[in-house]
Amino acid sequence: MIKVSIVEDDSRIRESLAILIDGGQNIRCVSTHAGAEDAIAQIPGKKPDVVLMDINLPKMSGIDCVRRLKASLPKLQILMLTMYEDDDLVFQSLMAGASGYLVKRTSPAELLQAIEEVHSGASPMSGKIARTVVEYFQKLHSSSPQEENLSRREQEILDLLVKGYRYKEIADALSISFETVRSHLKNIYDKMHVHSRTEAVVKYLRR
């Protein structure tokens, strides 16, 4: 029996997902949560195998929730289920610890199959999302790697970026200003020959 928890702020969607899951074979919903804070507090006690996670939650985001849950429950499998197909959100979710990424228009049958797949160790992704991931790696693979002479501070910032920290969180963690973070990031992008946070992180992870 695959135990599933749902983190979704829309009550209609949350209830529909719970009904869908309870109607599947060898799968059941053990808890539902309207926000990240409740999920972080309650999910460890529910002991789910898989969590369906929305991104756009009130207060703390779903991505931050993923990072917090994985820190305390490293074996937990988290499947993003969201309306967003933005490249940065995809990679931030995966870097935070999500094992798969689906859009909400995924059919009920495909969603149930994805839950089974992520539980068995696979990384299900909606078609366009999977292509985005592949294209990023192909793009980076086709470019000749160059040595990035990052300063110690730039390396610290990049390390936090890889962990999914936002710019303000990086500033707070390193006790520097938001503008200083932005200035360092510009230098990092120039040295790594990339144009976005996503490209910098993916290139860093391939080293």
Q: What is the pLDDT of residue 131?
A: 67
Q: Find the mean pLDDT for residues 8-32.
A: 95
Q: Where in the chain is the domain with CATH 1.10.10.10?
A: 143-205
Q: State the pLDDT at residue 147.
A: 43
Residue ranges, comma separated, of all CATH 3.40.50.2300 domains in the chain are 2-126
Give the per-residue pLDDT at 70: 92
> The domain at 143-205 falls in which architecture?
Orthogonal Bundle (1.10)
CA distance 151 to 144: 22
Q: What predicted TM-score, i.e. pTM, was given to this entire model?
A: 0.68
The class level of CATH for 2-126 reads: alpha beta
Mean pLDDT of 37-65: 95
Residue with the bigger pLDDT between 19 and 144: it is: 19
- pLDDT-derived band at 145 (thresholds 50, 70, 90) equals very low
Chain mean pLDDT for the chain: 85
pLDDT given at position 186: 87
